[in-house]
Amino acid sequence: MNTVIQASGLGKAYRRTWALRDCSLAIPEGHVVGLVGPNGAGKTTLLRLATGMLMPTRGTITVLGERPAAGPAQLARVGFVAQDTAVYARLTVADHLRLGAWLNPGWDDDLARQRIGQLALDPKQRAGSLSGGQRAQLALTLAMAKRPELLILDEPVASLDPLARREFLQGLMEAVAEQRLSVVLSSHLVADLERVCDYLVVLVASKVRVAGEVSDLLASHHRLSGPRRDPGSLPAGQVVITESHTDKQSSLLVRTDGPVLDPAWAVKPVSMEDLVLAYMSRAGDETPTRRQHLGVVS
């Protein structure tokens, strides 16, 4: 499996505070990857390490097989859009395109100008006077026109209204289809991830709790409800992720590679949101043996 981001024992500390600690993961190429987790999980730190904006305190990280920001050639292979969609307020839209062409040897000016036209952005308008959605689209255009192999997006739509988010994600998916990009998209908005991502990574307290193709993860997780019972009595291979009980009933979210055959259980599928919340809620609840059994990379 070829990876776009590979980390081993990765950590970043600010004096005595660890923003990311002992993080290991492998993100495969050819996917739109949703990176999700609670505040403080280390998502932004991980992505800034991947772009070379930060240097690790411990461990290693490679991006497209190389050290992040190893040189101009490596930088040209990676596009990045941050949450604050960094554009220069005093520069016009046209100024941004000229700057992008000057900084990036593989710049596709036709692509950039075509997108600006489709978005109905005035090339003479200063970026500071654009709406939040327009600034995000301008930042995405600059990242796409580099013609990168990997596009890293750190909460790019967090501050946008629903319509602007939809338009941004639509533009992203069009770019993925046209350019065959690999994408890593960090977001708290699970509904948005569910629309565009085909691979999921749940990061909690620097640890990857679960990772895999969305279709496989959803197929292997089930919500069970039925008469109260001890979860330890379940057949081998049915791993309980979360559980809740009343005096007479049990409700479990389980992971299993096979069908649930016990007729006492009512079996329902889970959504991506169910899956994300389940793994986030059981942070720190796993022994190494159980993590290995769950197929978690950590």
CATH number, domain containing residue 71: 3.40.50.300
Model confidence pLDDT, tens digit, residues 45-88: 999 999 999 999 999 999 999 999 999 889 999 999 987 767 89
Q: What is the domain range of residue 288?
A: 215-294
**What pLDDT shows up at residue 188?**
87
32 and 156 share a domain? Answer: yes
First to last CA, the chain: 17
223 and 261 share a domain? Answer: yes
141 and 264 share a domain? Answer: no
**What pLDDT shows up at residue 183?**
96
Could you tell me where the beta strands, DSSP code E, fall in the chain? 3-14, 17-28, 32-36, 58-63, 78-81, 150-154, 182-186, 199-204, 207-213, 221-227, 239-245, 249-255, 266-269
Neighbour count for residue 258 (Cβ, 10 Å): 9
Cβ neighbourhood burial of 17 (10 Å; 0-12, 13-18, 19+): exposed
**What pLDDT shows up at residue 283?**
58
User: Measured between alpha carbons, how far is 101 from 238 in angstroms, rounded to an integer?
Assistant: 54
The single-letter DSSP state of residue 231 is: G
8 and 77 share a domain? Answer: yes
276 and 174 share a domain? Answer: no
Domain count, the chain: 2
Using the 3D structure, point to which of 159, 174, 205 is the last residue of a domain. Answer: 205
Q: Is residue 101 part of a domain?
A: no
**What pLDDT shows up at residue 175?**
86
Q: Is residue 70 part of a domain?
A: yes
Q: Could you give phi then psi for residue 67, rounded to 5 degrees?
A: -65, 135
**What pLDDT shows up at residue 85?**
67
Q: Are 17 and 42 in contact (CB under 8 A)?
A: no
250 and 163 share a domain? Answer: no
Q: Is residue 17 part of a domain?
A: yes
222 and 171 share a domain? Answer: no
Work out the mean pLDDT of the chain and round it to a whole number. Answer: 90
Residues of the chain with pLDDT under 70: 85, 283-298
User: What pTM was computed for the model?
Assistant: 0.87
